[in-house]
Copies of this chain bind each other. A is one copy, B any other.
Amino acid sequence: MTDLEIAQATPMEPIQKVAAKIGIPEDALEYYGKYKAKLSFDYLKSIQDQPQGKLILVTAINPTKAGEGKSTTTVGLGDALNRLGKKTMMALREPSLGPVFGLKGGATGGGYAQVVPMEDINLHFTGDMHAITTTNNLVCACLDNSIHQGNPLHIDPTKVTFKRCLDMNDRTLRDITIGQGSKANGVERKDGFNITVASEVMAALCLADDLMDLKERFARMQVAYTYDGDPVYVRDLGIQGAMAMVMKDAVLPNIVQTLEHNPVLIHGGPFANIAHGCNSVIATKACLELADYTVTEAGFGADLGAEKFLDIKCRLANLKPNAVVIVATIRALKQHGGVAFEDLKEENVDAMLAGCGNLAKHIDTVQQFGLPYIVAINQFESDSPKEIEALENWCKENGHPMSLSQVWAKGGEGALDLAQQVIALCDQPNTYAPLYDVHASIEDKINTIAQKVYGADGVDFTDEAKAQIDTFNRLGWNELPICMAKTQMSLTDDGKIMGRPTGFRITVRELRPSLGAGFIVALTGKVLTMPGLPKHPSALDMDIDENGKIVGLF
C-alpha cells in the first residue's frame, strides 16, 4: 500500500476529540473542516504561563536524496510515547505545495507513522502558505509602486533585495525582468521569484512570539538600498500593519492527528538552507504548555537542522531542549561508506561501518551542545540482519544509546523501545548552551560552526563576503545569530564528499541580512531558492474522481 492508501484506509477522529485528549476545549478550535483546526488567539493567550513539558528534537545524519525519515520517526515516537501513557504532542513543519507537484512528495511522515488528513496537509491545508505568499508579494507590489509613483524613498531599482514568491516549482521564474512594455507598467528591472517557503516572511513567522511581534519583525525587514546605498526597510514603505492583517489567521497553529489519533501541531515550514528549517516557535511553545512531552524535528541533518534549532530557535525563543534523537538509515550509512545510491539495497556491512564516521560526527555535535542523545535506526525492508547486528555492535562498542525503529511498518508500536529510552534521557540533567556568543564577530561565529559542527579546519571568505561583513558591521546588523546555507548531503560545502571528512575548509561566498527573522544568512555555495520540475512531474499522475478520492499524491 502507498502512504496515501494507508492514510485513506484509516478512519480519522473528529478533531475536537483529538484536541480533548490533550485538554484543549472545543471553543479553542477554529475549524477548517472536520479534521483540521487552528488554536484560537484567546486560547493561546490563556495557556502561555503554563509550565512547559520536555522538548525532544529529532535530527539526522547527512541524508541520502530520499531523506532519512525524520518526520516519520517524529510521528512514530510521538505515537509510542502516547502508547506508554505519556501526554505527548508533536510539532511539525508545514509542507510546501510546490514540491508536491514535482518529485519529492509531501512531508507528513510515511507508512503507519503519518499525520492526516495527508491530502489536505500537502495541498492548501489551512491556507498559511497562501497568506505568506500574499504578504510577501504585497511588499513587492508596494515597493515597485513606490518606485513607479515618483520614487520618494530613492530606491535604486538595481538594488532591490526582496524578491517575489510563489508556492510552485517554477524554474523560469528564477531570473526575470519585470516592468516591461509601456511606461504605465512601472519601472523595468531585474527580479526573480523564490518558492514561498524561502520567503523571509516564513522565517519571521516561525520565530515570532505572536502577531504583534511578527508585525515588528515585518517592519524591520530590509528590502532594498537607496541610490546612496542606505538600506530601505518595510517600515519605510509603511505596510507592516497591512502585512500583519494578512497574516492574522496564518499566525495561529494548526492541529491535526496522527493515524493513531494523537494531536500534532503543524505550523510554519521555512527552508532549511537560507532559513532555519524548524516549525514555528508559537507551535512549539503551545505544545510545551499543553503536553508533558513534545517531539519536534528540524530540516536536513544535524549539521544544519539541529545546529540551527539549538543555536537560533532555542536561543531566540528561550527554549530548553531535553534530548536529541539522531535518525540514521543503514542505506545512508552505506552511502557514506562509498556505495552508489542505486546499489543501496545490496548488503554491504563493511561500507556501512566505514560510513559510521558520519553518524559519529553528528553525535559529537550534539554532545558539544550538552544534550543527551539516542541513535534511532529507521529500518528499511532492504536492511539485512547482518547489517543491523553490525550497527548495533558499533553503537555498543562506542557507548552510543541506540534503538531500532520500525514505525514505518508498525506505527507507534515500532518505537516503544525508543520511547522508553527517550523518557529516560529526558530525566537526565543536561548542560545545553548555544555553541557561540551572539556578540562575537560574524567571522568568529561562522568559524565556530564550521569547526565544531562540520569538522572543518577553517573558513575562507570571498572578497564579496568580506565587503558585506564590513557593511553589516557598519549598519549594526552583526549581533545576530548565523544561519548557514550549505548542502545537506555532506558535512563539507561539497555535496559529493561523503562520510566524515577532515582537513577541509568552508568557503563563504555571500551574506544576506534576514533582519525580520533575526539572523544573518551565510551562503557557502549557490543555493537554489526556486526549485524546478523534473522531466516527469508527479502532477501528471495525480487525479481525483467523482467521489473526491485522490490518487497520485505521495
Contact = CB atoms under 8 A, between A and B. Distances in A.
Interface string A241-252: 110111011000
Given A140-B170, A171-B184, A176-B177, A239 B539 contact: yes
A175 B166 contact: no
A137 B123 contact: no
Interface in A16-46: 30-34, 38, 41
A149 interface: yes
B176 A123 contact: no
Nearest to A37: B31
A298 interface: no
A160 B537 CA distance: 20
Contacts of A179: 171-172, 175-176
A211 interface: yes
A377 interface: no
A102 to B, nearest CB: 9
A222 interface: no
Given A184-B171, A186-B172, A245 B33 contact: no
A274 to B, nearest CB: 18
B171 A544 contact: no
Interface stretch (A310-318, A435-443, A453-461, A545-553): A545-553
A-side binding surface: helix, strand, loop or mixed?
A: mixed
A150 B169 CA distance: 18
A145 interface: yes
B185 A171 contact: yes
B171 A148 contact: yes
Nearest to A543: B241
Contact of A32 (B31, B170, B532): B31
Interface string A292-320: 00000000000000000000000000000
Interface in A76-134: 97, 101, 123-124, 127, 130-131, 133-134
A47 interface: no
A451 B41 CA distance: 57
Contacts of A178: 172-173, 176
Quickly give the copy total for this chain.
Answer: 2
Contact of A532 (B130, B145, B171): B145
A215 to B, nearest CB: 8
Interface string A132-148: 01100110111011001
A168 interface: yes
Contacts of A186: 171-172, 532
Nearest to A123: B246
Contacts of A535: 149-150
A169 B145 CA distance: 10
Interface of A: 30-34, 38, 41, 97, 101, 123-124, 127, 130-131, 133-134, 137-138, 140-142, 144-145, 148-150, 166-181, 184-187, 189-191, 210-212, 215, 238-239, 241-242, 244-246, 248-249, 532-533, 535, 537, 539-540, 542-544, 546, 548, 550, 552-553
Given A137-B170, A210-B546, A242-B543, 13 more contacts: A124-B127, A127-B127, A130-B134, A137-B166, A140-B170, A148-B171, A149-B535, A172-B185, A172-B189, A176-B179, A211-B548, A245-B550, A248-B548
